[in-house]
Structure formats: structure tokens, C-alpha cells
Structure 1
Amino acid sequence: MTSTTERAPGHRRLAQAGTISLRLGLLALVAIGIAGAAFELAFERHWGSLTQLIPWAALALLALALVMAAFGDSPRTVTVVRVLALVVLFTAAYGVFVHISVNHGAGGSDGEWSTLSPLTQWWYAATKTVGFAPPLAPGMLAQSALMLLLASLTPKRREPAGLGT
């Protein structure tokens, strides 16, 4: 019968290969998310005010962090990637809040709005039943930032043979 210590090196190699594949998959999804958000912002002509430029800046930061994560693996680089991803995550959360708030404000123009409960009003604002601002658009940016954070938790390379055994 084989002991656990005899099987560990082979299992470790498989686990490392799976971790690297997971990292590459997450980085690819981040790239797709950045491209999708950029297209969405461009299609919506989301550049009419200073506030509307915030997601463009967040996309630029996220793209920079993605490049850094893909090509650098020093502890300092990983820290910078994580900080940038967190900045984008908080910016996106602010974007979701602003979109829902704008939609809620638009509901006031409806005569029946005041007859609805506050919970129903906020639900309608969050689901874009009222208003025009899509809360899921900044949510997509938050999702990409979160995936980049998760990718930063996985190693970029395999350990050289013989180390860690």
C-alpha cells in the first residue's frame, strides 16, 4: 500500500497545474469583463460629465492591474494588483449605489410613486423598473475586480522541482 507521503509529489504537481489553469482562466475572464464594460460604456456614450468618466478611470486601473498580474509575480506587484482591484471594487460599488439612487429619483415623476412602500420603490430602482441607469453595468466592473483579486491568490508559476517536498 502506498503511503500519503509517497503520493504527495504527484498530487502536488496536479494541484499546481490546476491552480495555474484557474489563474489563467480568471485572468481571461477579467480581460473579457474589461472589454465588455468598455464596449457597454462606449455604446451608452458614458462620457458626458466628470462623474461619467469615473468608470473609464476604473477600467484603466483594472487593465493596468491585469497586465501587472499577468506579467509580474513579485510580492510588491501582487500587493499593488490587490490594492488596484480593491479600489475598482469600491468604485463599482459606488456606481451601483449611484445608479440605483438615480433610478429612485426618477420614480418621483410618477404620480403613483408616493403610494408605493419604500421597499418597493427601492426594489423598482434596483431592478430598473423605474429610471434609466443600469445598476448591473457597474456590477460587471465589480465582478471583474473580484475575479482579479481571486487570481492574485493563486501562484503564477510552479515551484521548482524538489522545493516544498
Structure 2
Amino acid sequence: KHLPHYPIIQVHWEIIYASMVPYKRTVGIERNKLPKNVPFQDISLNQKTNFNPLLYECDIHKLKIIQDTVTVKLTRNNHLQNLLHEVIKNDYLYDLITKRSLRFQENIKKDINFNEKNSNELILNDKILTILNELKILYHDDIHKQMGYPLQLSNICAILLYCGKSCN
């Protein structure tokens, strides 16, 4: 009552708290069953996925194949294609392939239809660009799933290239 600006009082609240989470509610970050490679499946871009009403939730492998098919269809004009085009254009193709398949770079560029001026022509073939297999493994990882799939393939690729490859 005796304050001159009674209705217009600024209050600064500072709340300090601590909490305990039971161990069974925490998310483990260990990867016990991380596969070394993903089997290659050649998926045509013109191939349509058919709706199957008898596909149960327990058919995880089928769901991942369908999701990868949809992802392959969407990767024709996206950030992942542009990112990989930029990496190849700057002569870091060897970061996208395995050391075992390190053959003449011109042959590899011809196989993936690399055009220096147009990134939309780049073919994302995971048999040649083996980093795509690593991206799929990390994308379908349990930790990424528990977080609600916050990163797209291009984000994971950028992080992987920045942290673990020589093109950073």
C-alpha cells in the first residue's frame, strides 16, 4: 500500500534446484550392437513403395527399408546431395569412400555422375559412397531414436565430416 509504483513492480526470480533421476530412467549412450555395415539394396528411384496393411510394428527391418526408400526418393534435391557435391568438388572424395575401394577418382566420379556445375545430377550410391552406410547406421541408432530423430542425414553427415574426416 505504501509503495509509490505498487501495480508496476518488477520482480527478479532466481530458482536454484537439484533433482535426482533413477538410473533406470536414464538413457544409456553405449553402443553394444552397432552393425559394421548395412547390406546393400539397389532401390530404383522410380520404384514406389506399396502400402501393406498387414505390416506389423515388429517388422522393423521392413519399416527401415520403406523409410530408406522414401529417403532415397527425397535425396534427389536436398542438403545431403549438395553437401556431398561440395566435398567432392573440393577434392575430398577419399573421405566419402573406404580405403579399400580407393581407386581412380575419375572412375568414381563417373560412376556417381559427378558434374562440377550441377549438384542435382549426383547419384547417391551407398555402394560407392560408403559414408552413406555410416549415416544410415547413425540415423537409426537407438540414441537418435530416443531423442526423437532431431537430425537429418545431412546434419549427421556434416558432423561426421567435421569431427572425423580430413576435410574439416
TM-score over 0.5 (shorter chain): no
Tell which structure's C-alpha radius of gyration is larger: 2
| TM-score, length basis structure 2 | 0.23
Higher helix share: 1
